[in-house]
Amino acid sequence: MHTPALIGWYNVVGGSPISYPTKGVWPSTYLDFAKVDFEEAKTQRCFVNAVSNAKRALHYQVDALVTALGWTHLKARNDFPTKLNFLGSCGVLSPTIIKRINKLRNSVEHDYYMPNEDETLEYIEIVELYLGATHYTATYFPDWIDAELISDDEEYDPAMNLPDEIQIRLPEGAGKLTVCAKNEVIFDAGIDNARYFEWVAEIVKQNAS
């Protein structure tokens, strides 16, 4: 029986861009708005607007990624921290610092807190780093990949007898993964199976490496 570690022996390259809710609007669209807000004037109004637009950029990216990975088929709390945890389970970067800056956004939106210049700039920069870190997965989502065995790796042992090529099928939004070789189904499961996350995480990490 194969384990998700099998994916590490394959050249998982390629994929397709994920879909975003609004055509022609990207996370970078809102991030650009945030930068304009920040540079416009060093006023509380501009800082609040900058944080709000940077938050939109972050949430827009997270929502698109979780949807691509099958979120709509999962019965879970529909809140931002839960979505971040979901992405982490799928191998997508989910740093603790994102949760920390989300507290600033909550304070601005719900507690009438006025962020200062340094806090605003930090928020924008962290969101920009997150968008950069998740850009590859969003641009090359591993929905349909034929992956070749890295047989020339010095650590590869032919006795492992791995297939020369595997087919990875992770249709965007379907919440279902199938991994096949020429004559066998290696793995086939939906998002209701805990092993779905183990396999998807290995595929996403290997694809982005």
Q: What single-letter DSSP state applies at residue 149?
A: E
Q: What is the pTM of this model?
A: 0.91
Is the pLDDT assigned to residue 112 strictly greater than 90?
no
User: What's the confidence (pLDDT) of residue 93?
Assistant: 81
Indicate the average pLDDT of the chain: 92
Q: Domain locations in the chain? A: 27-139, 141-208
Is the pLDDT assigned to residue 106 strictly greater than 80?
no
Residues 116-138: tens digit of each pLDDT: 999 899 899 989 999 999 999 99
Confidence of residue 15 (pLDDT cuts 50, 70, 90): very high
User: What's the confidence (pLDDT) of residue 165?
Assistant: 96
- DSSP for 80-118, please give it: HHHHHHHHHHTT----HHHHHHHHHHHHHHHS-----HH
Please give the C-alpha separations between residue 117 and each of 30, 49, 52, in angstroms, as whole numbers.
19, 12, 14
- The count of other CB atoms within 10 Å of the CB of residue 164 is 10
Residue among 169, 193, 201, 190 nearest 70 (CA): 190
